[in-house]
Amino acid sequence: MLPDRFQKLKKALIARQSDLTVLMESVRKPHNMSAILRSCESIGMHRAHIIPADGLRFHKPKSAAGVLRWIELERHKTLTESYASLKKQGMRIIAAHPSDDATPFREYDYTQPTAIVMGTEKNGLTEQALKHADELITIPMPGLVQSLNVSVCAALILYEAQRQRELKGFYDEVSLDPETFRTTLFEWAWPRVARYCRQHHINYPEIDMETGEILDAKSFRQLVTD
């Protein structure tokens, strides 16, 4: 582990936004899902959520394999389950939906704990998703074409959220709890070692927070070879 590489990973993790997330309700097309996840990761989101279009079955798209190394994706079986989980975390649920009574997306305050709900490419969000959301937001479209790709919509909203949070200094302070920060940093820096530890039920070893090197590496090597 090169120290410069480790510090880059550490800086990215410090900026992670634990109280900003996206919930994809039945987004079907793998390339759209991958594009949304890339936008989520690029603005520093720690975890995204999905309700698979076909219920219990869910196959992570191959095109998202790279980004899923850096962002967690949590699957939910139903909308009710997902909303309950997000509200338990203190999230305010806002649904992206073209409606006359929806708030223009730039006028919403994304510095509060927020879950942004995105719908299917063809039909948008279900009535249940809209009914139980705390607020609706919309992207004003003065042009003649009143439709944007779902991944484009997500990107526009997320970068507005990033802009607001950056102005308030949210990216300068750690929002993850200490244990999540430590374990995530280790998994990013030492993915193969982390995988071995999980497979063999071994606690992650401590690392030097400046260089990223494993502390007492000799003892750790002895542990895994015994």
Across the chain, what does the average pLDDT equal? 89
Number of Cβ atoms within 10 Å of the Cβ of 30:
14
- Residue 99 predicted with pLDDT over 90: no
- Residue 102 confidence class, pLDDT cut points 50, 70, 90: very high
Identify the CATH homologous superfamily for domain 17-172: SPOUT methyltransferase, trefoil knot domain (3.40.1280.10)
pLDDT at 225 > cutoff 70: no
pLDDT for residue 185 is more than 50:
yes
Percent of the chain at pLDDT > 90 equals 69
CA geometry: angle at 179 spanning 178 and 184, to 5°?
100
Task: Output the pLDDT for position 56.
Answer: 44
Q: Kindly tell me if the per-residue pLDDT of 220 is higher than 80.
A: no
Taking residues 78-102, what's their average pLDDT?
94
pLDDT at 89 > cutoff 80: yes
pTM of the predicted model as reported, rounded to 2 decimal places: 0.88
pLDDT reported for residue 29: 83
Which of the residue ranges 37-41, 61-65, 135-139 would you say has the lowest mean pLDDT?
61-65
Q: What is the pLDDT of residue 100?
A: 85
The domain segmentation of the chain, as residue ranges, is 1-16+174-226, 17-172
The residue among 70, 72, 117 whose CA lies nearest residue 91 is: 117
Confidence of residue 166 (pLDDT cuts 50, 70, 90): very high
The pLDDT of residue 226: 54
Predicted confidence (pLDDT) per residue in 139-160, tens digit: 998 776 767 889 999 999 999 9
Highest mean pLDDT among 44-58, 139-153, 171-185: 171-185
In angstroms, the Cα distances linking 93 to 19, 37, 84, 89, 115 are 11, 18, 10, 11, 5
Q: Is the pLDDT score of 196 beyond 80?
A: yes
Listed in sequence order, the DSSP H helices in the chain are 3-14, 30-42, 79-88, 127-131, 150-167, 178-189, 191-199, 217-225
Q: What is the rounded distance in angstroms from the CA atom of residue 133 to the CA atom of residue 21?
A: 14
Does residue 11 carry a pLDDT above 80?
yes
- In degrees, rounded to 5, the angle at the alpha carbon of residue 135 between the alpha carbons of residues 133 and 137 is 115
